[in-house]
Amino acid sequence: MSNINNPIFQDVDQAREYLEALRWPEGPICPHCGNIEGIYKLEGKSHRKGLYKCNECRKQFTVTVGTLFERSKIALNVWLLAVYLLCSSKKGMSSHQLHRTLGVTYKTAWFMTHRIREAMSSPIFTRKLGGKDVTVEVDETFWGNKGKQRKGATGYAHKEKIFSLVERKGEIRSFHVPSVRATTLRPIMREQISEESNVITDEMRSYQGTEKVFASHEVVKHSLGEYVRGSIYTNTIENFFSILKRGLTGIYQHVGAQHLKRYIGEFDFRYNNREITDMERMDNALIGISGKRLMYSQP
C-alpha cells in the first residue's frame, strides 16, 4: 500500500488516534497543567470524539490543544497529509501545488505550509557540532533579490545571506544572517561547533583566525581553482546549497526575507532526517508541533 493511501490520511478519527499515540505514548497529558493522572475520556453523545478532561485543573482538551493544529477548521487527516507531502518532497512543495493536491484554497495552503515549517524549524540543539577528530564544513551563500541592485554595481550586498555549518556524516545548521562579516559569523561558530573540531572553510577573510578557536582550520582556495585537496573540501555543504537553491528558485520562487528562516529550517530538517523513511520523517515533524501555533490573518 502506498503511504499516501494510509487510512490516517483518509479518515479524521484514525488521524486523531495516530497523533494521540505519537504525542502521548504513555497516555494523555493535560496541556493546561501538565497532569498525567486522573485524566478521563468524555464519551457522551454530546461530546465530540477525542475529548478528554483533567481531574486536576478541571479543563477539557484534545490532542491538538497547544499545537499548530489547535482550533483549525481543516480536518486533521488533511493536516497529516500536508505534513507528509512536505516531508517527503526532496526540494519541498509549493503552496500552489498543495492547494491543488488537497483541494483547499491557496491562502489556506500557504498558511498550512508556514505552520508546518515552524514545526520543522528552530529545534533545541542539545550538543555542539563536531568533536575530536570530527570535521565541520563552514560556508556561506547568497540568494534572491534579483534586479534590486543598482545598474553597474557588483557584489552580493543586496542579496540575502545564508550561513551554514555541517558535520560530515552528521547534522547541518543554517542561519539567515544580516552580513557575512567576522563579527556576525564567529559568534555562531563558537556557539555551534565544538572547540575540538577540525574546521574547513573557503578563503573568505571573515574566517581568518579560526585556527585560534578550534583544533585546526583548513582553507579551500577557490580563487586558485582548488576544490579538493585530499580530505580538505567543502563539497558536502555546497551540495546542500545546491538543493536549497534549486528548491527556493524552482519550487518556492518568491520567498520574503521575513520568512526565509523558516524555509531554510525546512531544508535543514529534511537533510538532518535524510536516512529515515518518509513516514518517520513525518513523525519527527509532528513531534515538533507543540507550542508552534502561528497567528496569521489567513484562514
Are the beta carbons of 105 and 111 closer than 8 angstroms? no
Residue 122 pLDDT exceeds 80 = no
> What pLDDT digit, counting tens, does each position of 105-114 carry?
999 999 999 9
Q: Residue 297: pLDDT band by 50, 70, 90 thresholds?
A: very low
Q: Domains of the chain (ranges plus CATH)?
A: 135-257 (3.30.420.10)
Average pLDDT, integer, range 213-230: 92
Q: CA 186 to CA 208: how far, in whole Å?
A: 10
- Between 2 and 50, the more confident residue is 50
Q: What are phi and psi of 97, to 5 degrees?
A: -65, -40
Q: Which helix or strand (DSSP H or E) is residue 104 part of? A: none
Residue 10 pLDDT exceeds 90 = yes
Neighbouring-strand partners of residue 67 = 290
Question: Which one-letter DSSP state was computed for residue 8?
Answer: G
Are the beta carbons of 171 and 185 closer than 8 angstroms? no
> What pLDDT digit, counting tens, does each position of 228-284 carry?
999 999 999 999 999 999 999 999 988 888 999 999 999 999 999 999 999 999 999
Are the beta carbons of 174 and 264 closer than 8 angstroms? yes
Contacts (Cβ under 8 Å, ≥6 apart) of 97: none
pTM for the full predicted model = 0.89
Q: Which helix or strand (DSSP H or E) is residue 259 part of? A: none
Q: CA 216 to CA 197: how far, in whole Å?
A: 7
> What pLDDT digit, counting tens, does each position of 132-186 carry?
999 999 999 999 867 666 776 667 788 899 999 999 999 999 999 999 999 999 9
> What pLDDT digit, counting tens, does each position of 27-57 carry?
999 999 999 999 999 998 888 999 999 999 9
